Structures are given as structure tokens and as C-alpha cells.
Amino acid sequence: MDTEYTKTFLPIILVVTTVIVGAVIYNRSGNIPTDSNQSAKLSEADARTIAESSCIKGGDALASGGIYNENSKTWWFDANLNATPEGCNPACVVREETNTAEINWRCTGVVPTDTKPVTINCLPEQRNVDACTADYTPVCATVEIQCIRAPCNPIQETFSNSCNACKNSLVKSYVLGECQKV
């Protein structure tokens, strides 16, 4: 019975042992994660080096500290670029799988509102129109005041659109948007 048992189970035991030993060796070579929370293969310092060589030109810089995205296996570095389009917040993105980097502009289209509004003067042909459209594209017009005692400072008044503003003979100019309440 021992020889029959040996003939039947010995090959199975040898195969199982070989598979286990092979798996241990393969795991030690670094190809299988040792836990489910394995960190990035590419260190932040190595990713920064790739980002600096690919995304940064003269005078540009990366912000300190990168962020690693485990889902996409990428390192993200905020980039302070000289030629950044308005409304964009660029980042240099390093792909761990390929060790390559590219700029992600992260443009939202939102433009900062701290710019001074452009004053538009009413044209003579805008004064004599018979009718204006009913669209609401508000403008803030400077309306000259007719007063009995000088000095009389002009006032700011919101009109529904530039046509309605310039049709008023007391309006000389306007800016786009509603007047700001003071």
C-alpha cells in the first residue's frame, strides 16, 4: 500500500511544492505586490526628475511636493509656467508605466475678474436708432446729470443692452455688465 500511495500522491506533492517554491521566488523578484497597499514603483524624486526634464523650460518651475494617483499610476506636479493661458492651472503629469511626462493644462475657462473693465464710447449711429432688441446683455453706463447747481457728477446706471444705453442722449460711454452696487 505504501508503494501505491507513493506512486499516486508523490507526483502531486512534487507539482504542488514546485508551484509554491516558484511563486515565492517570483514574488521576491518584485513582480507580485506583497500587500494590497503597495506604493508607487516610481519614487517622487525620480518622477520630479522626469517632470523637470520634460515639462520645464527656462524660467519655469515645479511647485514643491508631488501627488501620486494610484488609479492612473501617475505623479502630478503643479507647474509654474511662463506662458500659461488665462484660466488654466498647468500640471506636469508623469506616467509611471512609461516614465514619460506631459503638461495637463487643467483649463476651466474661468478668467479672473480683477481686470479693469474696458470703457466703450457710444457711436453717433447708435443715437438715432428707432428700436432696440429685447435681449438682456446688461451694460453699466455713465449718465451725465442735468442739474441746477454745479458741480454735478455723472451717475452709473444699468441698461438692458448697449443699444438702450446709447439711445439715451445723456450717456457718453458704458462698460459690459451690470453696475456694481456701492
Is 3 inside any structural domain?
Answer: no
Let me know if residue 160 belongs to a domain.
Answer: yes
Dihedral (CA of 123, 124, 125, 131) sign: positive
Does 15 map to a domain?
no
Tens-level pLDDT at each residue, the chain (182 residues): 556 656 666 666 665 566 565 555 655 544 444 433 345 589 999 999 999 999 888 778 888 889 999 999 999 999 888 777 777 889 999 999 999 999 998 887 766 666 677 899 998 888 888 888 888 999 999 999 888 887 788 899 999 999 999 999 999 999 999 998 76
The reply to whether 66 falls in a domain is: yes
* Residue 50 sits in the same domain as residue 97: yes
d(CA 53, CA 148): 71
Query: What is the rounded distance in angstroms from the CA atom of residue 103 to the CA atom of residue 48?
Result: 13
Q: Could you tell me if 101 and 42 are in contact, meaning their C-beta atoms sit under 8 angstroms apart?
A: no
**Contact at 8 Å (CB) between 139 and 179?**
no
- State which residues form the domain around 140: 120-176
Task: For residues 49 and 99, state if they share a domain.
Answer: yes
- Same domain assignment for residues 167 and 138: yes
- Same domain membership, residue 126 and residue 152: yes
- Please indicate, yes or no, whether residues 61 and 100 belong to a single structural domain of this protein: yes
The grid coordinates listed for 40 are 508607487
Asked whether residue 13 is domain-assigned, the answer is no
Check whether residue 133 and residue 160 sit in a common domain: yes
| Nearest Cα to Cα of residue 162 among 110, 124, 122 | 122
Same domain, 133 and 166: yes
Domain count, the chain: 2
**Percentages (nearest 5) of helix, strand, coil residues in the chain:** 25, 25, 50
- Give the H or E element holding residue 51: helix 44-55
What is each CA distance from 177 to 50, 113, 123, 126, 156, in whole angstroms?
A: 46, 12, 19, 19, 12
Q: Is residue 157 a part of any domain in this protein?
A: yes
Q: Which of 104, 139, 155 is the last residue of a domain?
A: 104
Cα separation, 8 vs 75, whole angstroms: 54
Report if residue 137 sits inside a domain.
yes
Q: Do 99 and 126 fall within a single domain?
A: no
Is 78 within a domain?
yes
The pLDDT of residue 153: 86
Nearest in space to 108 (alpha carbons), one of 83, 81, 90: 90
